[in-house]
């Protein structure tokens, strides 16, 4: 089944060159949380599709899809971040990111789009977020509506599902295709 993609990488790269700070975020929803990642880390955004090889959710890697001909692990951020998810609608997306040289898809409830952080700036997370969220929450910024956006560190989040030699795998079997 072909996967419909939305290109964000080129637009993000146009706004940020190598060596620049964090200027553009891909903003998305995970339950009630409004989060963002550095747009330069994303390869593409695809509509959520059924997983071809579902795995036990406690492992962090929820299953697999075939993306651009390669088997790709899917990490459900609702489960990984401990955020309840009653059901996923048609707005659910998978954000393909690079982690330790491999492609991994982050399953989110909705992608809102690109957000330029230059105007609102970035700040350290407030102390109220607590120790648990501080493990993956890197910074915060304000959206154009004034709402708070938590900036997560993709590598820190995915380190929670890494097994063995730092590769995302399941029970010792590598589930990420080589590129």
Q: One digit per residue, pLDDT tens: the chain, 179 residues?
A: 334 444 444 444 444 433 357 899 999 999 989 999 999 999 999 999 988 877 766 567 888 899 999 989 999 998 888 888 766 788 999 999 998 888 999 999 999 999 999 888 999 888 776 665 677 888 999 999 999 999 998 988 888 885 333 344 333 333 333 32
Rounded to whole angstroms, the Cα distance separating 62 from 76 reads 6
C-alpha atoms less than 13 angstroms from C-alpha of 94 in its C-beta half-sphere: 25
Give, rounded to a whole angstrom, the gap between the first and last alpha carbons of the chain: 20
- CATH for 5-14+22-165, among 1.10.3720.10, 2.160.10.10, 2.40.50.180, 1.25.40.10? 2.40.50.180
Dihedral of the alpha carbons of 155, 15, 30, 126, in degrees to the nearest 10: 70
pLDDT at 125: 85
Question: Which DSSP string do the residues of 72-117 spell out, in sequence order?
Answer: EEEEEHHHHHT---S---TT-EEEEEEETTEEEEEEESEEEEEEE-
pLDDT at 120: 86
pTM for this model (two decimals): 0.77
Parse the chain into domains and list their residue ranges: 5-14+22-165
């Amino acid at each position: 089944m072909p996967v419909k993609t939305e290109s964000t990488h080129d637009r993000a790269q146009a706004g940020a060159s190598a060596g620049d700070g964090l200027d553009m975020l891909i903003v998305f929803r995970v339950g009630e949380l409004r989060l963002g990642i550095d747009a330069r880390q994303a390869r593409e955004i695809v509509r959520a599709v059924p997983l071809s090889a579902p795995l036990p959710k406690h492992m962090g890697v929820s299953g697999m899809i075939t993306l651009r001909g390669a088997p790709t692990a899917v990490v459900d951020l609702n489960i990984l971040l401990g955020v309840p998810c009653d059901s996923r609608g048609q707005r659910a997306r998978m954000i393909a990111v690079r982690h330790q040289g491999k492609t991994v898809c982050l399953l989110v409830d909705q992608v809102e789009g690109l957000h330029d952080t230059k105007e609102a700036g970035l700040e350290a997370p407030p102390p109220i977020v607590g120790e648990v969220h501080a493990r993956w929450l890197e910074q915060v910024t304000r959206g154009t509506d004034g709402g708070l956006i938590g900036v997560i560190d993709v590598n820190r989040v995915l380190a929670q599902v890494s097994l063995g030699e730092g590769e995302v795998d399941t029970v010792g079997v590598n589930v990420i295709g080589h590129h």
